[in-house]
Structure 1
Amino acid sequence: MPLNALTGSRVRERRLALGLRQAEVAKATGISASYLNLIEHNRRRIAGDVLRRLAQALATEVDALEEGAPDDLAEALRAAAQEPGGERAELERLDEYLGRFPGWAGVTAGLRQRIGQLERAVAALNDRIAHDPHLGAALHEVLSAVSSVRSTAGILAETEDIEPEWRSRFHANLYKDSERLARGAEALVTYLEGAEQDATAGTGSPEEELDRWLAARGWHLEGDAAAEAEALSTDVARDMARRLVAAHSADVKHLPDGAFDAAMEAAEGDPLRVAARMGSSVLSVMRRIALRPGAVEGLVVCDAAGALLLCKPVPGFRPPRFGAGCALWPLFSALTRPFQPIAAELVMAGRNGDRFAARAYAEATFPDGFAGVEVRQAGMLLTPLAGIASAAALRVGATCRICPEGGCPARREPSILAGI
């Protein structure tokens, strides 16, 4: 059942949540109770004027009744369905679930995200136990001290005719070993507490913590971003934030606000033309465009391995934070052709078919000169578009696992939405 056919169900759920009777809402809307009953059971379409009056009577927005849950919530539930046990989920009724129970849908998506965070925390702790040299050294010190204490105590307990001089030596050794054991145990506890805090401080992963911090700031780095970055809970997240803030500061220095705004207006927002006018790198211009206060553009930056370094989402486009993105993104085409601009119109596969103007560009640098290696990065700037997609538009997804596009030639793994 299409989501827009569930407007009546959302009207009913909203009315029941407010504790209102059908007759009360019908009177406030200026329609009969019987007609409202048909609407609530999705047996009558709702005219625009009636929908506006219903939204007013129910103290909500028209969009909340007409559109229902946002796309990212639907994507989160589809991702939850790929977890063990998710094969029993009725994905063909997902729209109905979102329309009738948006609150429960949000709770389910939130729980899935929290479970993922805890699983990654457990994996991180297991990895530390298995491979961390500091943890291994701490455990070795404790076990060594325990063995020494046990050996000395055994000699004292089992040998009755020890000379006083040797007994004093054994007592001194026992005291020293017990002190060593106490210090080792204290160091081990301190280390484990720090490791647990790093892994379970509610961050899930450093990348997620960085994204939440940026989202809380509105995806801009003005003001005291450098000081706020130091409050992040993990060393990795702080390091990533410092590097991003440093890059932004360098971008602002080379592209100051006044000159940048003037160049943007003169170049009609074209990153290549802005970079040429101001003698800057194209990726710096892309970051300045996307990380301005109130910017509507999205931005994805990757390294030469295709790993996503920066992922600023926009409504309708949410790149995966873990795993690979869609192979059809112009980002990856640009990565193989540095210094060659690539522009494309994108249509997101799925129900809404959100459109974007994508501009991708890759740059290569040689920080260590001729004797060093090439460091390559690519960026893709996304500008939301309105209206109907053109025939030349490229259909893309977020990642194969939750992409509904059938028959995609670039698919690398089956979609959990196959057959729906």
Structure 2
Amino acid sequence: MSKTFHVTTFGCQMNEHDSERMKGMLGSLGYTEASEQRDADLILFNTCSIREKADSRFISYLQLAASYKRARHGDVIIGVGGCWAQSVKDEVFRQFPYVDVAFGPGQVHKLAEFLTSDSLTAQGFFEFEGFTGHLPAARERDFQGWVQISAGCNMKCSYCIVPSTRGRQVDRPLDELVAEVREMVAGGVTEITLLGQNVNAYGRAIAPPAPRSSFAALLHELDAIDGLKRIRYTSPHPQDMKEDVVLAHATLDSVMPHMHLPLQSGSSRILKAMRRTYSRERFLDRVALIREHNPDIALTTDIIVGFPGETEADFEETLEVCEEVGFDGAFTFIYSPRRETEAAEFVDAFIDHEVAVARMDRLVEVVQRRANERAQRFVGRTLDVLVEGPSRTDPSRLRGRSGHGKTVNFTGLAEAGEIVPVEIVRATSQTLAGEMSLLARALV
């Protein structure tokens, strides 16, 4: 019988992509996927270390895996990959002696080397090797795919652990990316999401002899691929949001009318302490430029509440920016100190948790109210929706995603992977509701 594996993924879309590569690699080694952790011969965790909550959740899962291993008298391999593993590389085996293999996010391929070695003694793989993603991927959906265009990050945000867990930025050659996407499209992919820690800084860190490029140039090259319907990307940095990328949204049919532009704080003073390399004014200037060329674009963002030293006045500035911009959605977080980051040393300036929670509640109210107001512009319109499957709340309806990145629940008959016109009848801050147009139903 073939051996089985189970992967639990924490964190960002880059981690989701890495997990797909783990699954594809394990499939090529003859492993099959188990639906439950307890039934697997190989239990893997792809970890995140951006926030303390992710650490705590992962450790509880890891302890459960250890209990399964004990119940089977050690006849289970436990592996830990990703950013958390990289951040505690010197301690992982001492703290968790039941772990058999640990590897950083740039060392996914080393898992195969470990599993096929003659002796399965505990091993750790933590070297930075740039991009190591030439592995088969087991995608969740045949029509959607991740494309990692770079690895690492050269920014030095004072709160962020990513540069120490993923290394400095390394970009893949443009021709290599175009060839990969062509192959994906030939295999049935119609929507891709480009991934990078600072995705719109792409092109400056391509190793010679391949020529340097730009993110806008990459978008143009990919847009020219027949059969590729949708291009998304995450996450850009406001510092590197240049007019050529903004114009690509306006002129290229496949580049979706959605941009995730992290704000983090509306206070220039706090942004400076975060080492974000832009001010409140610069961020608002970028928003104005984006909306000048793309008035209907959906803008989403990230915001951190309770960063060390944040005063009530600083927080009020964040609320003001949210009111002024009117984001279509936001990921909001209470600041969490991360090991080996500059901000973790600002102990004397830490914000009381109760204060941070109260500010978070106020922020969420503003974000959701403005997002709900923004969403009403879709009511009465017909949007192209990429069908992803049945609705999670009502199996008799379908669920998909509009070009603006909004989840749409609707009535109609269509197969996953189809792009269908949907008349929007209701909108909330989170989702849209609608019906397939009568013309679309007649054609099905």
Q: TM-score, normalised by structure 1?
A: 0.25
- Name the structure with the higher strand share: 2
Q: Which has the higher contact order (CA 8 A, sep 6+)?
A: 1
Relative to total residues, which structure has the larger helix share, 1 or 2?
Answer: 1
